[in-house]
């Protein structure tokens, strides 16, 4: 499998929703990372679609944002 991203991939949906929800909460990447117990650069790389994120970390991000995991993966 290639490392190319496909349009509308789960990774792209996650990046879009993560950025949007973080901004809506007025949170920096660092603040979100602290709440999710992740590193700031890791959150940034997720938002840039550079990471293949584990479900455990998606759950941590959703909890930090106070949303259901489905909201992070929903179609745009």
Radius of gyration of the chain, Cα coordinates, nearest whole angstrom: 12
At the fourth CATH level, which superfamily is domain 10-73?
lambda repressor-like DNA-binding domains (1.10.260.40)
Calpha distance 71→76 (Å, rounded): 10
| Residue with tokens 């990046």, as numbered in its chain | 15
- Please state the domain extents for the chain: 10-73
pLDDT tens sequence across 18-72? 999 999 999 999 999 999 999 999 999 999 999 999 999 999 999 999 999 999 9
Q: Which uninterrupted H or E stretch holds 7? A: none
End-to-end alpha-carbon separation of the chain, Å?
Answer: 25
Q: How many CA atoms lie within 13 A of 57 on its CB side?
A: 17
pTM of the model: 0.87
């Amino acid at each position: 499998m290639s490392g190319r991203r496909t349009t509308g991939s789960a990774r792209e949906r996650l990046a879009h929703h993560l950025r949007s929800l973080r901004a809506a909460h007025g949170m920096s990447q660092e603040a979100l990372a602290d709440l999710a117990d992740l590193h700031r650069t890791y959150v940034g790389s997720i938002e840039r679609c550079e990471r293949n994120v584990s479900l455990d970390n998606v759950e941590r991000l959703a909890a930090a944002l106070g949303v259901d995991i489905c909201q992070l993966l929903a179609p745009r």
